[in-house]
Structure formats: structure tokens, C-alpha cells
């Protein structure tokens, strides 16, 4: 637990920090790409549905962050951990307050989801329910799957495929191979963000018996997996040339990806991986924005 509470944020700023803004590009990127694909299909963009999808994505990301803060906090997993502020572990908020914040975000996301279901398909209610259960049980419940190495798979599915294809679906009411293809680089980079996070926390997670994928496969393989995710993101972004030739522009970010990968492979650990987390988030947003522009041309 932090010893100097006076140096920590208070009021609204602590809740903003607890929401972990650096993770929000992972919520923005899939909606941006899915919506741009609508334009590429020569369909009118449904701005209202697109904004509602963005709101759902952002609220679910923040809800996950608060629920992780709560669940890890009450288990003691976040004690003496490096990285972003943990509200429960730092003592800046009670477990009950953080749990309430998570529930509030889930409720608001559900309201936005119901709005989208009303305007498109009622099947979205079932999908939304699955998303919320997956978000909560990542670190919550009796057997959180994030403690058994399944976090990356979940992130790829929910913040990659479902978020991107879903953003496309709520504006077109169709699911296509094109929407699936552009979801892969987004999902791979979302996984890369989690991979850096878990690599940073690997020593503490191992001591707390939190068996993330990084803990299960070890430090060296976790670093290789991170590079593999970056490579997958670039390759699949380039494959989008079958949708628009302008997607080749995503290659301009290859030097940034190489530099980040070298940093990770050269053994960066603990606090030195914190800025890497932010850089991967920015990389995801830049690649998503470039892919979106390519789809809009």
C-alpha cells in the first residue's frame, strides 16, 4: 500500500486515474475502424449508432478497469505493484466504492447497448450479457479466468473481433469477411497492450499465484509473444489491401513497432515497461486511424 497518501490524486482526479486512460485507445480503435468500413462499402454511416457503439466500448473498458481494481484489490494481488494507480490497494477508495463504480459503468453500457439493440437486433442483448460476464469474471468471481492465462484470448475476442465487427454490424446489420479481417490487427494490438501489462507484473503475479499467460510461459516467451502480436498486427493490416490499397500506409509505423519490440526484447522490466504500455496504446490508435483513413479514401 502507498505510504504517502498525501501525494496521491484526490476527488475526481483519482477516479480518472483509476479508470486508466492509457487503456482507452483499445476501446476507440475498433469502433473507428468498423465505422470507416461502412463508408468503404459505400453505405451511409449511421452516426447515432456509431456513437452509441463507441460509448458502449468505452464504458465496458472503464468497467473492466474498475472491476479489476476491485477484484485484485480484495485478493491482495495489487499490493506493492508497479504501474498505474490502484484505488483499492492504495487506500484511496474502498472496495465497495470501486465495485459500485464498476457496476455503474456496466449499467450505463447496458443502457447504450439496449438502445443499439432496439435500433438494430435484439440479439445484441445476449451478446452484451456475455460481454459483461466476461468483463467481470476476468479477475472477479470464484475462478477468474484472467488468473489462469486466458486474458489475451478474451481481449482478442471482445476488444478485437466483437468490438470491430459489432461496430460494423450496428450500422450495416451485416457481418462480412472484410469486417473480420480489419478486426485482427485491432485485436492483436489490444492483446499486445495486455501482454506488456502482464510482463511488467510477472514477478508480483507469480508470487500472488496469479497465473497469467506471461507467468505460465515465462519471461522470455512472453517477450517473444509480444513481438509476435506486433508482427501479426502489421501483417493483417497490410492484408487489408484486398479491401483498399491505401492500407499499405500502415507500414509507416513499422519503425516505431521495431523500436518498441527491441525495448521489450532487450529486457525492459518493471517500471521501465510503463512507458512502453503507453506507446503500444498510441501505436494501436495510430494504426487504427491510418487504416480508418485508408478505408475512407
User: What are the boundaries of each domain within the chain?
Assistant: 11-296
One CATH from 1.10.600, 3.30.200, 1.10.1740, 1.10.3210 for 11-296? 1.10.600
Confidence band, pLDDT 50/70/90 cuts, at residue 259: very high
pLDDT of 176 strictly over 90 = yes
Query: How many other C-beta atoms are found inside a 10 Å radius of the C-beta of residue 285?
Result: 17
Average pLDDT, the chain: 91
Give pLDDT tens digits for 4-63. 444 567 677 889 988 888 888 889 999 999 999 998 988 888 999 999 999 999 999 999
Q: Which residues contact 262 (CB under 8 A, 6 or more apart)?
A: none
Cell, residue 191: 492483446
User: What is the pLDDT at residue 82?
Assistant: 63
User: What is the pLDDT at residue 6?
Assistant: 47
pLDDT of 115 strictly over 80 = yes
User: What is the pLDDT at residue 278?
Assistant: 87
Confidence band, pLDDT 50/70/90 cuts, at residue 3: very low
Amino acid at each position: 500500500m502507498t505510504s504517502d497518501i498525501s501525494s496521491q490524486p484526490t476527488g475526481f482526479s483519482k477516479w480518472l486515474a483509476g479508470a486508466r486512460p492509457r487503456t482507452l485507445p483499445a476501446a476507440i480503435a475498433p469502433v473507428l475502424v468498423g465505422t470507416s468500413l461502412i463508408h468503404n462499402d459505400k453505405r451511409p454511416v449511421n452516426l447515432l449508432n456509431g456513437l452509441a457503439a463507441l460509448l458502449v466500448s468505452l464504458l465496458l473498458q472503464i468497467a473492466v478497469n474498475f472491476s479489476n481494481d476491485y477484484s485484485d484489490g480484495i485478493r491482495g494481488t495489487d499490493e506493492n505493484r508497479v504501474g498505474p494507480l490502484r484505488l483499492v490497494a492504495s487506500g484511496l477508495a474502498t472496495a465497495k466504492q470501486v465495485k459500485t463504480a464498476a457496476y455503474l459503468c456496466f449499467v450505463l453500457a447496458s443502457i447504450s447497448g439496449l438502445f443499439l439493440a432496439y435500433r438494430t437486433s435484439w440479439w445484441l442483448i445476449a451478446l452484451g450479457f456475455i460481454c459483461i460476464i466476461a468483463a467481470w469474471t476476468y479477475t472477479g468471481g470464484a475462478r477468474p479466468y484472467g488468473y489462469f492465462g486466458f486474458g489475451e484470448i478474451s481481449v482478442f475476442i471482445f476488444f478485437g473481433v466483437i468490438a470491430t465487427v459489432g461496430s460494423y454490424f450496428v450500422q450495416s446489420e451485416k457481418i462480412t469477411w472484410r469486417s473480420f479481417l480489419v478486426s485482427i490487427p485491432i485485436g492483436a494490438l489490444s492483446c499486445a497492450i495486455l501482454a506488456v501489462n502482464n510482463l511488467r507484473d510477472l514477478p508480483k503475479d507469480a508470487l500472488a499465484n496469479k497465473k497469467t499467460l506471461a507467468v505460465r510461459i515465462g519471461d522470455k516467451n512472453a517477450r517473444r509473444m509480444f513481438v509476435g502480436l506486433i508482427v501479426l498486427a502489421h501483417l493483417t493490416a497490410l492484408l487489408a489491401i484486398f479491401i483498399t490499397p491505401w492500407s499499405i500506409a500502415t507500414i509507416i509505423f513499422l519503425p516505431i513497432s521495431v523500436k518498441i519490440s527491441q525495448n521489450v526484447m532487450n529486457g525492459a522490466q518493471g517500471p521501465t515497461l510503463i512507458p512502453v504500455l503507453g506507446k503500444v496504446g498510441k501505436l494501436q490508435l495510430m494504426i487504427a486511424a491510418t487504416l480508418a483513413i485508408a478505408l475512407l479514401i
